Structure 1
Amino acid sequence: MEQLGIRLAAHLRAGDLIQLDGELGAGKTTLTRGIGEGLGVRGAVTSPTFVLARTHPTAGGVPLVHVDAYRLATALELDDLDIDWAGSITVVEWGAGKLDGVSASWLRIAIERRTGAAADAALGPGDEVDAEEEPRHVVVEGVGPRWVELPPLD
């Protein structure tokens, strides 16, 4: 997930909005860490769960804003965070249904990982998988005019 974030960062510019969907532990914050690394964030990218949003300065001058919208109900509450949407690159975790009206375009990234019995069934006898190495299925979808053409991320 981190490597995907690093590759994605090369295509981002001020005003870009990224919506991350996925269950707890799917890799949303890890992907955001990769984006931060690719953008040259100064300091660590950590989960904004308890503060709702963190702004990270970058070497390139365009800040990375990392938002946890889990406790927000609407786009109005998200907009109340007073984020500089046009002047930053914004990543919103748990943003499904909360971006309409905030921006005309965003990149939606859905992350799925096997859990429970499905994860166990995928392992062979004696196999062990480190949580950081668990395979993920990632779907990238562009919404609006900015993302008519998706960048190559492989």
Structure 2
Amino acid sequence: MAQTDNMIPTKVGSRIRQGRLKKDLQITELAKAVGISFTAMSYIERNIHAPSLPTLKKLSTLLDLPISYLGCFENLPERTLGEQIRKARVYNGMTIRGLAVCFCVDAKTITNWENDRHKPSCIKMKEINQYLSILQSNSLST
């Protein structure tokens, strides 16, 4: 089924390819700017491999598109606190380690929160609630 220009692609690679074409960039130019090989970029665009968060963050900057849009993060569930923390983290383009630094905890703590194995303390919940506000304010206007 062919996609028309006004349809929003539903896969990461398709959104990246669409963004690249709107910027009139060759795949080799984008790959070089991101710091990955042509082959890796090709695999990403063909949805064979998913880009890492750092790569997705670079692509977001280069293509002037929100990382949440490029990563199709609107499809991530947010039923539990852990799912909300994970979704907000990737909306911000942060790794688990990066978020751990922000909250002054170790990476294992973030993993436990995201997997709903442990709940954050009351003190950390204040910070987390501010952090989660990105989920309410984020829009996919591209």
Greater relative contact order (CA < 8 Å, ≥ 6 in sequence) = 1
Which structure is higher in helix share? 2
Instruction: Name the larger-Rg structure.
Output: 2
TM-score (norm 2): 0.26
Which structure is higher in strand share? 1
TM-score (norm 1): 0.24
